[in-house]
Structure 1
């Protein structure tokens, strides 16, 4: 069973890849309509996160953005970086 970690919580995903891909695209499309009352812009990153399970291009985009965000967070807010699981320790070897 596949799962994603989002906001410090783990969510399980449907087992079939086609259903996951449809769900990911539906969340992205719903997020693009985030100005409507029921939908929100938070749906776009969640859709990309779900697509990253099955689509390598989305996986690379997610990983690059996660690394960039982690480095920025370590530089600006080390306490929050530790809270979200980004290491602030420097490796010296």
Structure 2
């Protein structure tokens, strides 16, 4: 199951690649129309994150941004960065098998 993780929360995404691309594209398109009452500009980054699961070009941009922000965070707050790295939980879930 594909899921979007933010902190300790996980939000499930559809297993279908086409559905994920449609959701991500719809969020980006809705974000472009963010000046309308119900839609908002917050939809653009969320749509890009959803699209990054399936589109390599968007995935590379997201990874570059993550590395750049991580380096900036490490440079400005080294003690907080060390605490974050040592206490971080892995993003990969391990499935236990009953033996």
TM-score, length-normalised on structure 1?
A: 0.76
Structure 1 unpaired stretches of 5+: 89-93
Change in 2 beyond 3 A, CA 1:82/1:42: farther
| Ranges in structure 2 where 5+ consecutive residues have no aligned partner | 87-99
1:20 corresponding residue in structure 2 = 20
Root-mean-square deviation (CA), in Å? 2.1
Show the counterpart of 1:34.
Answer: 34
Q: Match of 2:58, SS?
A: helix
Secondary structure of 2:20's partner? helix
TM-score (norm 2): 0.72
Aligned residue runs from structure 1 range 36-55, under 5 A: 36-55=36-55
Larger of the two Rg values belongs to structure:
2
